[in-house]
Structure 1
Amino acid sequence: MTAVGTGVVAAAGTLAFAGLDRLVFGGLGVLFGLGYLVVCFQLAVRVRYPDLPAAPICGPIAFAAALVLLQPGTTSGITGQVVALAGGLALRAGWLFAGTGLATAIVTARYVAQRRRHRSR
């Protein structure tokens, strides 16, 4: 998967899990968090080697976009939306850091393995 494809898959997957969680449970909770972990894992294992940095970068952007678009609650104005986003990120920081850390660890392992394979030739 290319870097652009990684961004598209991250946004589509994260928004799909967020939409499903909001539809079924009325908010963004555990299903959204677990879905984000699955999306981050898939991004990290499927991205092309030249585009490895895209996986840990696209995930958090998609996470924030899902919060902006699907977070329950009514906010008025830009300030209200920024405060709601900051609060949503703070409340779900564990999921955000876990998914981003997972993607970073997998991408780093893939990079190191590729470098070792290249050196042995």
Structure 2
Amino acid sequence: MSGSPERPRIGRLYGRRRTGRPARLTAVGTGVVALVATMAVASLDRLVFGGLGVLFGIGYLLVCFQLAVRVRYADLLAAPISGPIAFAAALLLFGPVTSTGVTAQVVALATNLATRSGWLFTGTGLAAVIALARFVAQRRIHRAR
């Protein structure tokens, strides 16, 4: 117990003061997060329920919401684009395929996209609406200055 007492580091992260703003994702980061999170939800749904169902759809909606909220302003267009790509990749890896071959994979992917189009369009639309709202709000802020 020598010298001066230690000062608490409340609100500090690695010596820097936190501003309270959330960390923003770049366009590449948005794609990576979309792919990893959608694959995780798809694998969990397949592991627990034996196939892609409601858990996958709800998880995809949550992923799309988070992407649209956390992407940087300069990369707003990445949010509604990266979600459907991750959705299709998850269907390609975890969706049911009845026979082997490239043609069977393409037909299975098209069938899975068609049968789950409600989730796909809802998640993509959600991300697009949030990104558009953020764009309009930011433009109004810039015009007011």
If the length of structure 1 is used for normalisation, what is the TM-score? 0.98
- Long gaps (5+) in structure 2: 1-24
Structure of higher CA gyration radius: 2
Using the aligned pairs only, state the percent identity: 74
The answer to whether the aligner puts 1:60 opposite 2:60 as a matched pair is no
**Per-residue deviation, 1:73:** 3.4
Partner of 2:74: helix, strand, or coil?
Answer: helix
- 1:75 and 1:84 in contact (8 A); partners too: no
8 Å Cα contact 2:80/2:124 also seen in 1? yes
Q: 2:112 aligns with which of 88, 92, 97?
A: 88
Task: Quote how far apart the aligned CAs of 1:109 are.
Answer: 0.1
Counterpart residue type for residue 57 of structure 2: G
State the match for 2:95 in structure 1: 71
State whether structure 2 residue 128 is matched by structure 1 residue 108. Answer: no
Contact 2:96 2:108 in 1 (8 A): no
- What is the rounded CA distance, in whole Å, between the counterparts of 2:135 and 2:99 in structure 1? 43
C-alpha RMSD over aligned residues: 0.6
Q: Which runs of no fewer than 5 residues in structure 1 stay unpaired?
A: none
Q: Which structure is higher in RCO with an 8 Å CA cutoff and minimum separation 6?
A: 1
Over 2 Å off, 4+ runs: 72-75
